[in-house]
Amino acid sequence: MIFRRKLIAVAAVAAAAFISPLVAQAQTVLKAADVHPTGYPTVAATESLGKKFEAGTNGKYKMQMYPNSVLGDEKTMIEQTQIGAIQILRTSLGPVGAVVPEVNVFNMPFVFRDEAHMRAVIDGPIGQEIMDKITASPARLVALSWMDGGSRSLYTKKPVRSIADLKGQKVRMMGNPLFVDTMNALGGNGIAMGYGEVYSALQTGVLDGAENNPPSMFTSNHFTTGAKYYTQTNHLIIPELLVMSKVAWDKLTPPEQALMKKFGREAQMEQRVLWDKSVADYSAKLKAAGVEFIAVDQKPFFDATAPVRAKYGAPYKDLMARIAAVK
Are 110 and 300 a contacting pair, CB within 8 Å? no
Q: Which CATH architecture has domain 25-148+240-277?
A: 3-Layer(aba) Sandwich (3.40)
* Domains 25-148+240-277 and 151-237+282-325 are alike in CATH topology: yes
- The pLDDT score that the predictor gives to residue 250 is 98
What's residue 194's pLDDT?
85
In this prediction, residue 181 carries a pLDDT of 96
Query: Are the C-beta atoms of residues 150 and 215 closer than 8 Å to each other?
Result: yes
Q: Which of 87, 61, 89 is nearest to 75 (CA)?
A: 89
The whole-number pLDDT of residue 16 equals: 42
CB pairs under 8 A, 24+ apart, for 119-126?
A: 119/148, 119/272, 120/326, 120/327, 121/323, 121/326, 122/146, 122/239, 124/326, 126/319, 126/322, 126/323, 126/326
Q: Which residues lie below 8 Å from residue 107, measured CB to CB, with a gap of 6+?
A: 93, 94, 97, 176, 178, 179, 236, 238, 312
Q: 2: pLDDT confidence band, cut at 50, 70 and 90?
A: very low
Residues in Cβ contact with 207 at an 8 Å cutoff, skipping those fewer than 6 apart: 170, 171, 172, 191, 193, 198, 201
**What's the chain's average pLDDT?**
91
Q: Mark residue 290 as left, alpha or beta (left: phi above 0; alpha: psi -120 to 50; beta: remaining).
A: left
Q: pLDDT exceeding 70 applies to what percent of the chain?
A: 92
Q: How far apart are CA 21 and CA 308, in angstroms?
A: 59
Write the pLDDT tens digit of every residue in 121-165: 999 999 999 999 999 999 999 999 999 999 999 999 999 999 999
CA–CA distance from 106 to each of 56, 80, 87 (Å)? Answer: 33, 25, 25
Cβ within 8 Å of residue 279, ≥6 positions away:
150, 213, 214, 215
The structural architecture, per CATH, of the domain 151-237+282-325 is: 3-Layer(aba) Sandwich (3.40)
Lowest mean pLDDT, pick from 17-21, 58-62, 92-96: 17-21
The pLDDT tens digits of the residues spanning 265-316 come to: 999 999 999 999 999 999 999 999 999 999 999 999 999 999 999 999 999 9
Burial of 221 (0-12, 13-18, 19+ CB in 10 A): exposed
- For the chain, the structural domain boundaries read 25-148+240-277, 151-237+282-325
Give residue 197's identity as a one-letter amino acid code.
Answer: E
For the residues 204-221, what does the mean pLDDT come to?
Answer: 95
Q: Would you tell me how many other CB atoms lie within 10 Å of the CB of residue 32?
A: 24
